[in-house]
Amino acid sequence: MTTILQNLWSLALESVQTPRVAARKVLELPATRGQAWGAFVAMILLSVVLTGIGQILFPVPPEQVLAFLQMSPFQAVGLLGGITLALIMAIVSIGRLMGGQGDMDGGLRLFAWMQAILIALQVVQLLLVPVMAILAALLGLVSIALFIWLLLNFVAELHKFDGIGQAIVVTVLSFVLTTFVLISLISQLGLLPVMEAPNV
């Protein structure tokens, strides 16, 4: 167990320092398609669980909580999983149209690993909130920056792009496409806020 944790820690550090090298190692792991899907689903579940724990420990007034954050755990898993899956599919498809070599299995592996790193930071952030709220907030900003850094480099390695420029284009287009999917989905679920006409 100690060796496994040490290897994971080493890979996590490498992901921050040389993300493309780390991504290559993740893609070369002898994992089956089923295991890739399992890792992806596990990370989605953990993300929802941690978000729920955060809301329980540090509740926000109902009027300040977005509607889609008040869903049941099953709805939250379905929505987060669907959005993330749509993003991966968009990254794979658009990347291949631009000459990339990535596939769905690789996308699932890299997203699962990236999510694992971000979840670890989220745990640290939750632990810091009651004792050092400012540091916890700063860690939240670091997590956002790290997400962008990892995503762009992982996309570049997934498609074997020479540089990060193509990865930026693929990622931006994929987010635009996924945003439309998100708006459509939450609209169908009735989760968009209803604007009331002002009294005259």
pLDDT digits (tens, 9 = 90+) for 124-140: 998 888 888 889 889 98
Has residue 199 got a pLDDT over 60?
no
Q: What angle do CA 20, 35, 25 make, to 5 degrees?
A: 20
pLDDT mean over 166-189: 87
Most confident of 61-65, 75-79, 125-129, 153-157: 153-157
Quick one: pLDDT band at residue 18, thresholds 50, 70, 90?
Answer: very high
Residue 193 within a domain: no
Q: Distance between CA 46 and CA 50 in Å, rounded?
A: 6
Contacts for 19 with CB less than 8 Å, ≥ 6 apart = 149, 150, 153, 154, 157
Show the tokens assigned to 189: 């679920």
Domain membership of residue 196 (yes or no) is no
Tell whether 198 is covered by a domain.
no
pTM score of the predicted model: 0.85
Contact 140, 123 (CB under 8 A): no
Place of tokens 């990254």: 91
Residue 200 belongs to a domain: no
What pLDDT is recorded for position 197?
A: 47
Q: Which domain holds residue 168?
A: 2-188
Tell me the C-alpha distance between 39 and 34, whole Å.
9
Would you say residue 195 lies in a domain? no
With respect to residue 142, please indicate whether it lies within any of the assigned structural domains: yes
| Gap between the Cα atoms of 71 and 59, Å rounded | 15
Per-residue pLDDT, 1: 65
Contacts of residue 100, Cβ cutoff 8 Å, sequence gap at least 6? 158, 159, 160, 161, 166, 170
Average pLDDT in the 146-170 region?
Answer: 96
Predicted confidence at residue 194, as pLDDT, reads 46
pLDDT value at position 87?
94
* Whole-number pLDDT of residue 42: 94
What is the gyration radius of the CA atoms in the chain, in angstroms? 18
d(CA 194, CA 130): 34
Contact 150, 15 (CB under 8 A): yes
- Average pLDDT on 32-46 reads 93
Residue 183 belongs to some domain of the structure = yes
Distance, in Å, from the CA atom of 30 to the CA atom of 21, rounded to the nearest integer, reads 16
Q: Is residue 159 predicted with pLDDT exceeding 90? A: yes
Within-domain flag for 15: yes
Query: What total number of domains does the chain contain?
Result: 1
